[in-house]
Amino acid sequence: MKLSPLAGKPAPASVLVDIPRLLTAYYTGQPDASIASQRVAFGTSGHRGSSLDLSFNENHVLAISQAICLYRQAKGIDGPLFVGADTHALSTPAAASALQVLAANGVEVMLSKDDEYTPTPAVSHAIICYNRGRSSGLADGIVITPSHNPPQSGGFKYNPPNGGPADSDVTKWIEAKANELLAGGLKDIKCMDHEQALQASTTHRHDYVASYVADLENVIDFDVIRSANLRLGVDPLGGAGVRYWSAIAEHYKLNLEVVNTEVDPTFRFMSVDWDGQIRMDPSSPYAMQGLIGLRERFDVAFACDPDHDRHGIVTKNGLLAPNNYLAVAIDYLFKHRPQWRQDAAVGKTVVSSGLIDRVTARLGRRLYEVPVGFKFFADGLFDGSLGFGGEESAGASFLRKDGSVWTTDKDGLIPALLAAEITARTGRDPSQAYAELTAELGEPFATRVEAKANAQQKALLSKLAPEQVKSTELAGEPIEQILSHAPGNNQAIGGLKVMTANGWFAARPSGTEDIYKIYAESFVSEEHLQRLVAEAQALVDAAIA
């Protein structure tokens, strides 16, 4: 990973996106459905792209919205559809385009009160609250966001009635139908004028802020936070939760300072990420320089990405790595939520830290390990069989205090507020809690590296079988397990994970670039980690040669 000279520095004017050009391209671009990069393509979190390269514009949004209407009809989903959008420049026009199609199809749409930006978890929460106790007339939702991706990006994802990200059988159906509509020149799309759509009898307003904020007391212990009178700081990174934080501070009477309330589609207030791009990633020490610089002012501070489904935790020691905080949160929650089911499991992705495995074993809980994708946690969080679901990229959600479902999509706000609860109740901030955990269970050294791979090699890697690995040792230790499918749900991980007693690596092809990624972790040393990576790379290169 080659660091840009701009990494961690304030964004210069030269890297800011040209918003008028971006918006013009949204309305004027004509994607060609015969070109793969210009088609609708649902990844782990919906369809993403940019109007500047014809991968996300009005045509895509109209086609996806019509495809969702057809999917709802086919599945008999006829309750309200909750719509949320973040602060990316393309999200507002995309929300307008989607409404034109949804209203023309007679869908009951729930838009935010006062056109407030809406975080992903607020949409998931709204779907779940509406559907509680119902067996018909179920609600679902759309979230218009490219998550933490750069300012020129747009994104569009569908959440079915379980409130979580749509499973791949659903997204494949929507993707195929949208591309069919795109290839047909949009002639089979129902669409009405935007003003008419806003005035339609099926278009309603929903106060996402008030309903989400008032219900938070059922997930987080605000009494203990308030009584400790902690100095809390939050940077919404110019995201959809910007008004939520002041509402939370006011409602629960917290000593919480929102250090930046600015919303600007160029995100010019960000420090530049590792590769010279602006990226609102709360797990990146380069993107988080602003809040890290204020760490002495607070007992604990936190940030979220534009759609507020990821969290970043800052203590006086700096930014806590996402994997490290997940282990701390799991250890704390399963000791301080007595009403959770005794058999509630811990959910993690295959590339999350082995420290989570050790914490889970010590807690006497079952580990539910799945491929990358939060959709794999949705059903378990929905029925309470999973107490917590977390992924290495700082995405997590967990149950209400009574053991019932809160959200089935990633929620950046509750892990952030949990950091305050942990600090208030234990007298130790999350980085101190992490030091205590590692003193008892071992300290992990982790990294992620990228290596070149063409399309053919990536296809080979995604289909590798354990028996194709001829080595019996990895970094001086016997190989104990080789996985091509996740042990939790037996779903293909799209690569390989190789494990020893004190280390592991996982290799997966990138969905968007000609590279593969190696995730590796050692419980021995930094040197052992480097050896793991070198041998992993040699092993993978030999297997896909």
Tell me if 525 sits within 8 A of 544, measured CB to CB: no
More confident residue, 509 or 70: 70
Same domain, 175 and 324: no
For residue 272, give both structure tokens. 């530049």
Tell me: the pLDDT tens digits for 251-297?
Answer: 999 999 999 999 999 999 999 999 999 999 999 999 999 999 999 99
Q: What is the rounded average pLDDT for all residues in the chain?
A: 96
Q: Which of 181, 211, 241 is the last residue of a domain?
A: 211
Residue tagged active-site, from 65, 91, 97, 147: 147
Closest CA to 249 of 239, 262, 261, 237: 261
Buried b (16+ CB within 10 A) or exposed e, 26-46: beebebebeeeebbbbbebbb
Burial of 419 (0-12, 13-18, 19+ CB in 10 A): buried
3-state secondary structure of 301: strand
Percent of the chain with pLDDT over 90: 91
Same domain, 411 and 487: no
Read off the pLDDT band of 1 (50, 70, 90). Answer: low
485 C-beta neighbours (distance < 10 Å), count: 14
pLDDT, position 514 = 76
Read off the pLDDT band of 512 (50, 70, 90). Answer: low
Question: Cα(389)–Cα(405) distance, rounded to whole angstroms?
Answer: 12
For residue 321, give both structure tokens. 């790595």
Same domain, 436 and 462: no
Tell me: the pLDDT tens digits for 132-146?
Answer: 999 999 999 999 999
Same domain, 428 and 466: no
Does the residue 42 lie in any domain?
Answer: yes
Does the residue 7 lie in any domain?
Answer: no
The alpha carbon torsion through 150, 353, 444, 482 (nearest 10 deg) reads -120
Q: Which of 441, 460, 487 is the last residue of a domain?
A: 441
Does an H or E element contain 253, and which? none
Same domain, 334 and 275: yes
Question: Cα(500)–Cα(483) distance, rounded to whole angstroms?
Answer: 12
More confident residue, 44 or 371: 371
State the total domains in the chain: 3
Q: Which of 423, 441, 459 is the last residue of a domain?
A: 441
Question: Cα(379)–Cα(443) distance, rounded to whole angstroms?
Answer: 32
Tell me: the pLDDT tens digits for 112-170?
Answer: 999 999 999 999 999 999 999 999 999 999 999 999 999 999 999 999 999 999 999 99
Cβ neighbours of residue 198 closer than 8 Å, sequence gap 6 or more: 99
Read off the pLDDT band of 544 (50, 70, 90). Answer: confident
Closest CA to 415 of 343, 320, 350: 320
Q: What is the CATH number of the domain that holds 94?
A: 3.40.120.10
Q: Which residues pair with 306 in a beta bridge?
A: none
Question: Cα(278)–Cα(270) distance, rounded to whole angstroms?
Answer: 7
- Average of pLDDT values for 450-469? 85
Does the residue 344 lie in any domain?
Answer: yes
511 C-beta neighbours (distance < 10 Å), count: 12
Q: Is 112 a catalytic residue?
A: no
Does the residue 1 lie in any domain?
Answer: no
Does the residue 216 lie in any domain?
Answer: no
pTM, rounded to two decimals: 0.96
Does the residue 510 lie in any domain?
Answer: yes
Question: Cα(490)–Cα(369) distance, rounded to whole angstroms?
Answer: 9
Same domain, 287 and 327: yes
Same domain, 540 and 436: no
The alpha carbon torsion through 37, 38, 44, 50 (nearest 10 deg) reads 100
Read off the pLDDT band of 213 (50, 70, 90). Answer: very high
Q: Which domain holds residue 401?
A: 231-441
Does the residue 502 lie in any domain?
Answer: yes
Same domain, 170 and 311: no
Same domain, 50 and 184: yes
Question: Cα(245)–Cα(321) distance, rounded to whole angstroms?
Answer: 23
3-state secondary structure of 165: coil
pLDDT, position 539 = 85
The alpha carbon torsion through 411, 412, 418, 423 (nearest 10 deg) reads 170
Closest CA to 353 of 396, 417, 407: 396
pLDDT, position 542 = 84
Same domain, 199 and 86: yes
Tell me: the pLDDT tens digits for 166-188?
Answer: 999 999 999 999 999 999 999 99
Q: Please say if the pLDDT value at position 492 is more than 80.
A: yes
